[in-house]
Amino acid sequence: MSRKKEYEEKEKHGTAQFPVGLHKLTYPAGTDVMFYVHWHQEFEFLVLTEGQVLFTIEDREYLMNPGDIVFINSNYLHTAKNVCGGICSFYAIDFSYQVLNEDIHSIFSKKYIRPVLNDKFIFPEFMPLSEDREKEWQKDIRRYLREIDDCPEHGLEPFELMIRSRIFAIWDIMTQNGTRAHKDDDIENRYSERLEPVINYIKENYAYEISLAELAGILPMSEGQFSRVFKQTMKMSPIQYLMRYRILQSCKLLQDTDKKIGEIANLSGFNNISYFNRVFLNTIGCTPKEYRGNSSY
């Protein structure tokens, strides 16, 4: 999955020798969006410790309560919104695949890392706190994450051996409880290659009016067949993808320029500022003005 560089989180996690970051964050009552949409190359485990949060990974939403865990794969867009109105706290552990094996082309990486990176092997993404005995493996993950969280946020090097051992143990458990991608995914991969001209067309022309018939004609397919194939492959309709892409482009303009919001809406393919504001709020979780006034963690 490729992502435009402007949505990449700028903060580096750990050091080249030990690429692990531990973040312990608390947001005061009244905070709406805890952090805006972003991605990073590292894997991430996030554990909510206080409050209630609506966590979004790509187009999937999870209502998190204290003790719940999410796993965010490399390069996945994610954001979090406070839904309880009170104080929200979490800790997050970000780490590069290099913690497990520095050589991405090694036999080990081919077996245990690259399938996860390439979505050939799917790790559990949401692990809610549960007393269900069938979820005993999640308790072990929660315990290992807590042990890492006990380390000082800005002084992990003295605990490197312990942290590496816990990450290996967690990776082992996740591997035991993950699932191989369905055979249908091979079909989706072929469709994905076929849709590439459509995706490129959207990226090059998102600022202009684009119709469903126009997109379907690129392949060519009927509008109905195109919509079914697109949704099966991209997990959203062509119009939803177009709107989402436009909103993500507007985020960059809001962050990096002083252009007026109406002008940014127009440059992003929206002729109606009210509609732009509504779609932006539904996609990002705040208004364009609020987004401009805040920065992601």
Q: What is the pLDDT of residues 4-14, one digit of tens each?
A: 444 555 566 67
The pLDDT value recorded for residue 155 is 87
Domain assignment present for 156: yes
- How far, CA to CA in Å, does 149 sit from each of 13, 48, 52, 152? 15, 12, 20, 8
The pairing of beta strand 78-82 with beta strand 33-38: antiparallel
Domain assignment present for 210: yes
Domain harbouring 82, CATH code: 2.60.120.10
* Predicted confidence (pLDDT) per residue in 253-281, tens digit: 998 899 999 999 999 999 999 999 999 98
The pLDDT value recorded for residue 10 is 54
Calculate what percentage of the chain has a pLDDT beyond 70: 90
Kindly state whether residues 20 and 68 are assigned to the same domain.
yes
Domain assignment present for 297: no
Kindly state whether residues 45 and 133 are assigned to the same domain.
yes
Domain range for 267: 184-292
Kindly state whether residues 64 and 25 are assigned to the same domain.
yes
Residue 270 structure tokens: 């929206």
Residue ending a domain, among 180, 211, 237, is: 180
Domain assignment present for 135: yes
* Predicted confidence (pLDDT) per residue in 64-84, tens digit: 999 999 999 988 889 999 999
User: What is the domain count for the chain?
Assistant: 2
Residue ending a domain, among 151, 180, 209, is: 180
Kindly state whether residues 160 and 31 are assigned to the same domain.
yes
Quick one: average pLDDT of 213-232? 88
Whether 31 and 92 have beta carbons less than 8 Å apart is answered as no
Measured between alpha carbons, how far is 79 from 297 in angstroms, rounded to an integer? 10
Domain harbouring 285, CATH code: 1.10.10.60
Question: Predicted confidence band at 297 (pLDDT cuts at 50, 70, 90)?
Answer: very low
* Predicted confidence (pLDDT) per residue in 175-221, tens digit: 999 998 765 555 455 556 778 899 999 999 999 999 999 999 998 88
State pTM to two decimals: 0.67
Residue ending a domain, among 130, 148, 180, is: 180
Kindly state whether residues 174 and 143 are assigned to the same domain.
yes
Measured between alpha carbons, how far is 137 from 233 in angstroms, rounded to an integer? 31
Helices and strands (H, E) in the chain, number of each type: 11, 11
Kindly state whether residues 54 and 121 are assigned to the same domain.
yes
Quick one: average pLDDT of 13-26? 87
The pLDDT value recorded for residue 230 is 86
Kindly state whether residues 109 and 212 are assigned to the same domain.
no
The pLDDT value recorded for residue 189 is 57
List the beta bridge partners of residue 62.
Answer: 55
Kindly state whether residues 283 and 217 are assigned to the same domain.
yes
**In terms of Cα–Cα distance, which of 164, 143, 116 is closest to 14?**
164
- What does the mean pLDDT of the chain come to? 87
Kindly state whether residues 174 and 189 are assigned to the same domain.
no
Which is more confident, 220 or 243?
Answer: 243
- Non-local CB neighbours of 150 within 8 Å, separated by 6+ positions: none
